[in-house]
Amino acid sequence: MTKPLTLFEKVWNAHVVAQEPEQPAILYVDLHLLHEVTSPQAFSGLRARNLKVRRRENSFATIDHSIPTTSPNITGGDQLAARQMEQLENNCRDFGIRLYGVNSPQRGIVHVIGPELGLTQPGMTIVCGDSHTSTHGAFGALAFGIGTSEVEHVLATQCLLQRKPKTFQVRVEGTLKTGVTAKDIILALLSRIGIGGGTGHVFEYTGSTIRALSMEERMTICNMSIEGGARAGMIAPDETTFQYIAGKEFAPKGASWLVHLNRWRSLPTDAGAVYDSSVTIDANALTPMITYGTNPGMGISVTEPVPDPAHVVDSLDRSALEKSLRYMALKPGEKLIGKRIDVVFIGSCTNSRISDLRLAASVINGRKVAPNVRALVVPGSQAVKRQAEAEGLDRIFKQAGAEWRESGCSMCIAMNGDQLEPGQYAVSTSNRNFEGRQGKGGRTFLASPLTAAAAAVTGTITDVRTLLND
Amino acid sequence: MNHFPEFASRIAPLLVNDIDTDQIIPARFLKVTDKAGLGASLFADWRFQPDGSPKAEFVLNQPQHRGAGILLAGNNFGCGSSREHAPWALVGYGFRAVISTSFADIFKNNALKNALLPITVDTSVHRKLSELVLNEPSVELSVDLESQTFRMPDGGTVRFPIDGFAKSCLLNGTDDLGYLLRFEKQIEEYETMRFGSGV
Ligand code: SF4
């Protein structure tokens, strides 16, 4: 009898090219995604060693991090950003890599367009010089972020040296209540295990709640696996996955589709397979979540008070909490509900897909953005933008007084001019609330698109359920 | 020849947990196309006032810690983004090792590829080191990769774990890419097995 294997182990085993005793495995990479910020030095390295790209058809590039969202061709005089974008164009031309560039209708945030184009498929190994590559794990791929040196390794050899990580089952059971979304599941997990809780592991999300989620919701969850320290998060492919992929530009077609489907059906974790760790989350008990601190593990239910450092025993943990509250200018025990905010950002590779925009629009429709709030809606890709406009979502946002933008990373990372001013509070659907992440001195509350939209129309942190019951 | 000989250095204590790569090097400094020069922006928002003048209270601006080659950080150092600019900035500034109770995976990989030693210690050693450097800022630690130890000023040695492959790369002055390129034949065979020949 063969040993029962997890989804992760099956994908891993199928990609080990070679492994010498005691040494890391040589792992084959099926799909390599590139963007302008983490690739220039990798291409310079190739040039310095006089190396070519080994398998050009496995690499795809886009421009997302520093691209302006007002109009893609106006860099606002940012010469550095312009040079970086131009360099990616030159590198892709010189090395023969397909680029979805500034004027491409298929351009968008790298983790939004991969799935959208059908590039992301079950059982693949996928890497990108970007930690949120974990997003693609929603399809049952092993997808993880790498550094720039490793980008160079993949370009040159289509392989990476990797130690095998451990497995960590995150089982989510039950039914989500109204107003509670995939984002709340992942924020709840992070608040439970902390931002280092998954270090050295690959998450596999299992359970009835996960099975009931759409692909876009699954992507939201896998996206933030890295926020728990896990480089990758995976979900076994099922009919929902196959339906999503079918017919996409790069999806297998005809007879090849059936061959792939057969293989994909063999990927889910075998009965009796063992994980190194596991945790269970009761979806029935979840409420809308929000972060109060300066890392994504500092989350609470939106109705709960901010924790009090006085109750923290470990001195380093206590000073971390104190430091966070000082940065956020929050008092221990303070309630967040009713707190005035300045900016709402709906976007990023976590929550900028069409279903996210629909959720936000459902709250904003017929209401106005509060006068004290600047609301920015940034679709994840040009395709999402077109779809939203076809559905009239852009009009809902614009009529309410929100800004409707071109696609890009935008205020998630504040490299393109979209940023918070020092001291401003934002409710953001992105994934990181680190100090200064959305602009120097800016303060971020992470939440779902529903909670962000609720904050936009009330001007304060709000329990979105009170608006949904209207 | 040992490419990573033993070295002794003072320690800069930055006893904050979960220092993320956005703090190590904020995103606005990532619009570069080479690796050099990032040391000037290391910990920029903690190190400098908005007008660019140094914040006197920040550890790297204190005279007794200037020129330290070892950073003593809180738990879970280097979490967040995959930016290799983080080790580039630390190395560019002059750090050769970071000591913590744990490191984020991607940061650790990136550090080892740039000859920056991520030294993991247990909480009791961490506490001892913190007390030591806070009481006596000029104290030096001697770090030896070959024996995977550092020597405390009281003469005691502490052993630290390090990935065996990364260690031999650092000691021999080789890198991952050189190693990977030796497997050309196996990679080709693997590709033939997966995609057939002549594709
Ligand atoms: S949207 Fe934010 S987290 Fe996602 S790839 Fe862009 S910068 Fe990174």
**Is A348's C-beta closer than 6 angstroms to any atom of ligand 1?**
yes
**Is A187's C-beta closer than 6 angstroms to any atom of ligand 1?**
no
**Is A352's C-beta closer than 6 angstroms to any atom of ligand 1?**
no
- Across the beta sheet with A232-234, the strand order is A232-234, A201-206, A166-173, A277-282
**In degrees, to the nearest 5, what angle opens at C-alpha A19 toward C-alphas A14 and A23?**
135
SS3 A395: helix
Report domain extents, chain B.
Answer: 7-162, 163-199
Tell me which residues of chain B, numbers 53 to 112, contact chain A at a CB-CB cutoff of 8 Å.
Answer: 74-76, 79-84, 102-106, 109-110
Residue A73: the pLDDT is 67
Is residue B149 classed exposed, middle or buried when 0-12, 13-18 and 19+ CB atoms within 10 A define those classes?
middle
Note whether A405 and A372 are within 8 A (CB): no
Residue whose structure tokens are 């004027």: A103
**Is A433's C-beta closer than 6 angstroms to any atom of ligand 1?**
no
Q: For residue A415, which atom of ligand 1 is closest to its CA?
A: 7
Count of pairs with CB atoms under 8 A, one residue in A, one in B: 178
**Chain B residue nearest residue A441, CA to CA:** B45
Q: How confident is the model at residue B197 (pLDDT cuts 50, 70, 90)?
A: low
Helix (H) or strand (E) holding B11: strand B7-14
- How far away is chain A from the Cα of B69, in angstroms, using its nearest Cα? 23
**Record: contact A436-B45, CB cut-off 8 A:** yes
Q: How confident is the model at residue A156 (pLDDT cuts 50, 70, 90)?
A: very high
SS3 A323: helix
**For A259-282, what is each residue's pLDDT tens digit?**
999 999 999 999 999 999 999 999
**For A369-399, what is each residue's pLDDT tens digit?**
999 999 999 999 999 999 999 999 999 999 9
SS3 B144: strand
Distance linking the first and last C-alpha atoms of chain A: 58
A164: pLDDT strictly greater than 60: yes
B199: pLDDT strictly greater than 70: no
Residue A71: the pLDDT is 80
Distance B61 CA to ligand 1 centre (A): 32
Average pLDDT over residues A243-251: 98
Give the torsion sign (CA, A444, A446, A447, A449).
positive
List the beta bridge partners of residue A141.
Answer: none
**For A294-342, what is each residue's pLDDT tens digit?**
999 999 999 999 999 999 999 889 999 999 999 999 999 999 999 999 9
Residue A32: the pLDDT is 98
Q: How confident is the model at residue B154 (pLDDT cuts 50, 70, 90)?
A: confident
- How far away is chain B from the Cα of A169, in angstroms, using its nearest Cα? 18
Selection from A335, A327, A350, A280 nearest residue A422 by Cα: A327
Average pLDDT over residues A225-243: 98
Percent above pLDDT 90 for chain A = 97
Q: How confident is the model at residue A72 (pLDDT cuts 50, 70, 90)?
A: low
Residue B7 phi, psi dihedral angles, 5° rounding: -140, 155
Go through A179-192 and write b for each residue having 16 or more CB atoms within 10 A of its CB, e for each that does not: bbbbbbbbbbbbbe
Max distance between CA atoms of chain A, in angstroms, equals 67
Note whether B125 and B133 are within 8 A (CB): no
Of the options 3.20.19.10, 2.60.120.1440, 3.40.50.2300, 3.40.50.1820, the CATH number for the domain spanning B7-162: 3.20.19.10
Percent above pLDDT 90 for chain B = 94
Strands (E), B82-171: 97-100, 117-120, 140-144, 149-151, 157-159
Selection from B115, B107, B92, B106 nearest residue B35 by Cα: B92
C-alpha span between A384 and A378 (Å, rounded): 10
C-alpha span between A222 and A253 (Å, rounded): 27
How many Cβ atoms are within 10 Å of B9's Cβ, its own excluded?
Answer: 17
Give the torsion sign (CA, A41, A45, A46, A48).
positive
List the beta bridge partners of residue B56.
Answer: none
**Record: contact A415-B180, CB cut-off 8 A:** no
Residue B179, chain A, CB below 8 Å: the answer is: yes
User: DSSP letters along A112-161, please?
Assistant: HHHHHTT---TT-EEEESSGGGGGGGGGT-EEEE--HHHHHHHHHHSEEE
Helix (H) or strand (E) holding A168: strand A166-173
Note whether A160 and A27 are within 8 A (CB): yes
This complex has an ipTM of 0.96
Residue A78: the pLDDT is 87
Average pLDDT over residues B77-86: 97
Residue A1: the pLDDT is 65
B70: pLDDT strictly greater than 70: yes
Token pair listed for A19: 């492994």
Give the torsion sign (CA, A316, A321, A325, A330).
negative
User: DSSP letters along A221-285, please?
Assistant: HHHGGGGGT-SEEE----HHHHHHHTT-TTS--HHHHHHHHHHHHT-SPPTT---SEEEEEEGGG
C-alpha span between A246 and B42 (Å, rounded): 46
Note whether A330 and A340 are within 8 A (CB): no
Tell me which residues of chain B, numbers 138 to 167, contact chain A at a CB-CB cutoff of 8 Å.
Answer: 163-165
**Record: contact A38-B83, CB cut-off 8 A:** yes
Instruction: Name which of A70-79, A137-146, B126-135 the model is least confident about.
Output: A70-79
Average pLDDT over residues A115-119: 98
In sequence order, what are the residues at sequence separation of 6 or more whose Cβ sits closer than 8 angstroms to the Cβ of residue A411?
A343, A345, A347, A376, A378, A418, A419, A420, A426, A428, A430, A438, A439
Q: How confident is the model at residue B19 (pLDDT cuts 50, 70, 90)?
A: very high
Q: How far is CA A413 from CA A65, A67, A304, B164, in A?
A: 7, 11, 28, 35
CA atoms within 13 A on the CB side of A390: 7
